[in-house]
Amino acid sequence: MSDPIDDDPTGEWRDAADEVYRELLERIGEAAPQPRLEPTRRAVELLGDPQRSAPVVHITGTNGKTSTSRMIESLLRASGLKTGLLTSPHLVRVTERIMIDGRPVSDEAFARNWDDIQPYLAMTDAELIANDEPPLSFFEALTVLAFAIFADAPVDVMVLEVGMGGEWDSTNVADGQVAVFTPIALDHVERLGRTIGEIARTKAGIIKPAASVVTAIQPLEALDELRAAAAHDEAHVAVERVDFALEGTTVAVGGQVIDVRGRAGEYHGIYLPLYGDHQAQNATIAIAAVESFLGDGSRALDADVVAEGLATATSPGRLQLVGTEPTVIVDAAHNPHGAAALAEAITEYFDFDEITVVVGILREKDAHGIVAELAPFATQFFVTTSTSERARPADELADIVSTVAPADIVFTLSSPELAFASARDWAAAAPRRAVVVTGSITLVGEAIAAADAEGWKPRGEGVE
């Protein structure tokens, strides 16, 4: 068994992990997920069903999935459990997606487990090709790898964030004891459905017989779908604002202080080092989910566990401060709902006079809807194109931005590097100015990497 969080002083295993990523990229990409479960199920069956090696908390929704997953993991870890966490996508390196006890899996464990599962992936691929089906996709293979890593560690509990949807997502070969739903809105309509009800029906596929269901407050058509699916599987549903609730939040240095009524207990004066009312909501859902997992919603969590679990929670790429002098904030909002949460948090939690928004958006996303939410707080837009093959060209995006904002505050920059440098130069020229980088996870990841490489924070502050 390889140490999942060991160091790699020579860089040998980092190179091996990077090679694994290159091999994964040769498979069908995440932009074209396969709406199927059988290939993933076949691969894990050949491996001895590692997805059954520990109980599961399963998370889906439209926005807030990753933050909520990370808070659930942090609370479970504070409870004394060894945790495995799968999230997607990554910001800088693929190993960020698979966490053991709150740290990215080591390059060695990533590469060694990949080598171990190769024969079984090859067998599955061969069977698929023989049946005129595409071989395992990037996400299918990565999900199998995550299960293998968790079983190898081994972990006490797996926290799994759905990649897309729920019913046919590769993570759904696991049976979650708790199914968690963050707010559901329109996104990926070409694959999940063109109404909130249709999307909720797809996401409700993660509900398993006798599971506990914890959901954020939802539009009525979404809640109806979740309740119907739960009733079919005799699962209990706990709904935000009915069975648990955020009772209050107060702005604090570096985040906020929240009061939460859980399913079984009340938790007051809890420090959360994350900005935004939406993060307070995510924390509330996380508490209810962990109450459901540890005590079926009937036993309160220890106050010290909640305090430690939330105080140490992180959410990279979500209202994350990556630069000071000047201030640079990144946020992975990539749909209108997420952009609205970003706008609300910027207004409530920060006090800037002027803000340049560096924005890059993928082709399939609702660019007009995203920009419409950002425009009220933007002094100007620096429009660019990330390195993603799916990125909308900067000129095309600038035309869309100019339908929402005055054309004279919209500037097109040929590369993210130029956009970051120009925005930081502008922000540094006067007090109370800031830069916000948003619109796509890829662009945010590039900003985080640049901040780390170029030292956008004074030495010792770190980027996290």
What pLDDT is recorded for position 194? 75
What pLDDT is recorded for position 374? 98
From CA 398, how far away is CA 358, in angstroms rounded? 11
CA-closest candidate to residue 182, choices 46, 304, 23, 315: 315
352 within a domain of the structure (yes/no): yes
How would you label 89-125 residue by residue, b for 16+ Cβ within 10 Å and e otherwise? bbbbbbbbbbbbbbebbbbbbbbbbbeebeebbeebb
Does one domain contain both 191 and 89?
yes
Check whether 32 has a pLDDT greater than 90: no
Does one domain contain both 267 and 404?
no
From CA 74, how far away is CA 164, in angstroms rounded? 23
- Give the pair of three-digit tokens for residue 271: 């420090």
Does one domain contain both 328 and 297?
no
Check whether 445 has a pLDDT greater than 80: yes
What pLDDT is recorded for position 464? 44
Name the region of 428 (left: φ>0; alpha: ψ -120 to 50; beta: rest): alpha
CATH of the domain at 400: 3.90.190.20
From CA 331, how far away is CA 319, in angstroms rounded? 5
Check whether 266 has a pLDDT greater than 60: yes
462 within a domain of the structure (yes/no): no
DSSP-assigned states of every residue in 295-342: HTTSSPPPHHHHHHHHHT---TTSSEEEETTTEEEEE---SHHHHHHH
What pLDDT is recorded for position 462? 47
Does one domain contain both 233 and 335?
no
Cβ count near 381 (within 10 Å):
28
Helix (H), strand (E) at residue 98: strand 98-100
The better pLDDT of the pair 6, 310 is held by 310
Does one domain contain both 88 and 50?
yes
Section 269-295 average pLDDT: 97
What pLDDT is recorded for position 34? 77
How many percent of the chain have pLDDT more than 90? 88
What pLDDT is recorded for position 188? 62
Model confidence band, residue 459 (pLDDT cutoffs 50, 70, 90)? low
Does one domain contain both 306 and 334?
no
Does one domain contain both 259 and 333?
no
460 within a domain of the structure (yes/no): no
Q: Of the candidates 311, 335, 350, which is a domain's last residue?
A: 311
Does one domain contain both 223 and 364?
no
Check whether 7 has a pLDDT greater than 70: no
Q: Of the candidates 286, 311, 336, which is a domain's last residue?
A: 311
What pLDDT is recorded for position 379? 98
Q: Reduced to 3 states, what is the DSSP secondary structure of residue 147?
A: helix
What pLDDT is recorded for position 29? 82
Check whether 191 has a pLDDT greater than 70: no
Q: Quote the pTM value.
A: 0.92
From CA 245, how far away is CA 233, in angstroms rounded? 25
Check whether 221 has a pLDDT greater than 90: yes
Q: Of the candidates 280, 311, 342, which is a domain's last residue?
A: 311
Could you report the per-residue pLDDT of 365-384, keeping only the tens digit for each?
Answer: 999 999 999 999 999 999 99
Model confidence band, residue 319 (pLDDT cutoffs 50, 70, 90)? very high
Check whether 461 has a pLDDT greater than 60: no
Helix (H), strand (E) at residue 228: helix 220-232
What pLDDT is recorded for position 18? 97
From CA 440, how far away is CA 331, in angstroms rounded? 8
Residues 6+ apart with CB under 8 A from 185: 62, 63, 196, 335, 336, 337
1 within a domain of the structure (yes/no): no
Section 109-133 average pLDDT: 98
CATH of the domain at 186: 3.40.1190.10
461 within a domain of the structure (yes/no): no
Q: What range does the domain containing 409 cover? A: 320-454
Domain tally for the chain?
A: 2
179 within a domain of the structure (yes/no): yes
Does one domain contain both 185 and 60?
yes
99 within a domain of the structure (yes/no): yes
Model confidence band, residue 439 (pLDDT cutoffs 50, 70, 90)? very high
From CA 30, how far away is CA 150, in angstroms rounded? 22
Does one domain contain both 118 and 229?
yes
Check whether 460 has a pLDDT greater than 80: no
Does one domain contain both 147 and 276?
yes
Does one domain contain both 293 and 396?
no
Could you report the per-residue pLDDT of 327-349, keeping only the tens digit for each?
Answer: 999 999 999 999 999 999 999 99
Model confidence band, residue 80 (pLDDT cutoffs 50, 70, 90)? very high
- Report the length, in residues, of the chain: 464
Using an 8 Å Cβ cutoff, are 21 and 94 in contact?
A: yes
373 within a domain of the structure (yes/no): yes
Could you report the per-residue pLDDT of 105-118, keeping only the tens digit for each?
Answer: 999 999 999 999 99
User: Mean of the per-residue pLDDT values for the chain?
Assistant: 94
- Give the pair of three-digit tokens for residue 104: 């990215």
